[in-house]
Structure 1
Amino acid sequence: MADQTDTGPTAQGRRPGRAGDARGVAAAVALTVATGAMDAMSFLALGGVFTSVMTANLSLLGMSTASPDPARARDSAVAMAGYIAGALLSGRIVRGPRPVWRARCALAVELVALGGLWAGWATAGGHPVGGRQLGLLAVAALAMGGQSGLVRAIGPPGLSTTYLTGILTGLLVDAARSGKVRRLSAALLGALVVGAAAGGVLVSWAAPAAPALPVALVGLVLLTSVTPLARDAHGRLWPHTG
């Protein structure tokens, strides 16, 4: 990333080029790992729902009315409400001039939300229940909704670090039609699995510290966003998906 005031092919006499592209890919992969970890945490310890896959929560909400399962319906609704709030907030933050600076602000809001989640999670010993569980679920979904809104607003078409069904479909269709696999798409799908596996391991073996992984990853992306090589050769925040 670079502030919009950094014009021209270089910020300090250097051409970002491939280094900027690599930074963008690394940022997208890091955020996707964080997403996988958060989904594992929410599914295993925050009510059996997801914080980034709202289509799955919609399905769970529908199934809960047929069961009936009021707890599952409640948790699905809370996750959806938090996600919607986060996406709307992020979309509002990045609206206007100086988009890269605004993107940093949106990342900072996500980081604050995840930090608050970690604090509440740790005080519950990694096993929140009752009202605290619902509150943490809402905060986690807000963070993921914010990340989704940010990437949707400023990223290239088709890029996502949270809901990846479209990326999986595109990868399969491209492979079937041309025999080619988009490396970024494959990397993001792999990152989601790695993040979910890491999140699951942390919840099982080091529950109080589980939120440290997404906090560290989002914090790292925000920190590196202020470096001159955090953009690609065209000043974009994210890499092409092609």
Structure 2
Amino acid sequence: MTGVVSAAGRRVRWRSTPVHLLLALTFATGVVDAVGYLRLDQVFAGNMTGNVVILGMAAVGGAGLPVLGPAVALLSFLIGAAVAGRVLRRTAAPGWNHLHTGLLAGVGLLLATTALGMAATGIGTTTFRTVMALSLALAMGVQAATARHLAVKDITTVVVTSTLTGLAADSRLGSARGQGAKRRIAVVVLIVAGAVAGAALCQVHEGLAVAIAAFTVLTVTAVGHKQVHNTPHE
């Protein structure tokens, strides 16, 4: 995408594609999900499929699986996505605008606040872990809905199932179309890299892991905002 029309009706050019920005957000999701699963009672903050499956299995009983955390995370994610959808509902044109900047800045600040909370009080109690899961999932819901509105193919920033499906289906063993293979591989690699980084940082402190995710999101926000607003109009 070399040129798009912004919500204000002006034409802008990307110096680097939004693909790179959403790939960075995918890395951040990997970090956050590692923290949720390893430190917040097996909660997925970004991958809601995992929470739904856990809740389904827990419904049978006797499996020792968590219920409160995944349920709270699922509800919080939906609320975050709904809020972002509401904010962006009148922005039909593709491309980054001030609304995307505001939403992702909010995600970054919420993650930063969560990291500070973890650093200040720890995650010793079930109540606090649930609150932290709520906060992370709310942030990921906003991020996912914002990424969805930016509509970069194969990059949802929170899940890779559809990406893996496309990669396999279009591979030489499938339809042999070979479309978007590099992008899809990058998505998978980055969410795995985020999970590895998150797990490693959790060995130091879970708050540090979330702080890295916050820094990543805020950097993406700043770069995206700067590219749009500093580009000469046509």
Which of the residues 174, 177, 180 maps onto 2:175?
A: 177
1:110 corresponds in structure 2 to 107
Q: 2:164 aligns with which of 168, 176, 180?
A: 168
TM-superposed deviation, 1:104:
1.1
> Partner of 2:226: helix, strand, or coil?
coil
Aligned AA (1:191): L
Q: Determine if contact 2:40/2:130 at 8 Å carries over to the other structure.
A: yes
Q: 1:87 aligns with which of 77, 81, 90?
A: 81
- Give 1:119's aligned residue: 116
Relative to 1, partners in 2 of residues 1:155 and 1:135: Cα closer, same or farther, differing over 3 Å?
A: same
Matched pairs, number: 223
Change (3 A) 1:73 1:207: closer
1: CA distance, partners of 2:230 / 2:187: 19
* 1:114-159 deviation line (CA, Å, top 9, x unaligned): 122112111134x442211100000101111111111112314543
Aligned counterpart, 2:136: 140
Q: What is the alpha-carbon root mean square deviation over aligned residues?
A: 2.6
The 3 A distance-change label for structure 1 pair 214 and 45 is same
Is contact 1:224-1:230 (8 Å) kept?
A: no
TM-score, normalised relative to structure 1: 0.83
Gaps of 5+ in 2: none
Matched with 1:150 is 146
Amino acid in the other structure paired with 2:195: A
Contact 2:118–2:207 (CA<8 Å) still a contact in 1? yes
Cα deviation 1:44-102 (Å, max 9, x = unaligned)? 00111211111221110011121335761111111101111111111111122486111
Q: How does 1:33-44 map to 2 (within 5 A)?
A: 33-44=27-38
CA drift of 1:25 comes to 2.2
1:89–1:146 contact (8 Å) kept in structure 2:
yes
User: Please, what TM-score do these two structures have when normalized by structure 2?
Assistant: 0.85
The percent identity for this pair of structures is: 26
Aligned residue for 1:68, secondary structure, equals coil
Q: Secondary structure at the match of 2:156?
A: coil
Post-superposition Cα deviations, 1:4-32, rounded to whole Å, max 9, x if no partner, equal 44724xx5xxx64xx332xx222111100
Residues 147-187 of structure 1 show CA distances to partners (whole Å, capped at 9, x for unaligned) of 11111123145431111100110011010211626211111
Q: How does 1:20-59 map to 2 (within 5 A)?
A: 20-21=16-17, 24-59=18-53
What are the ranges of 5 or more consecutive residues in structure 1 without an aligned counterpart?
236-242
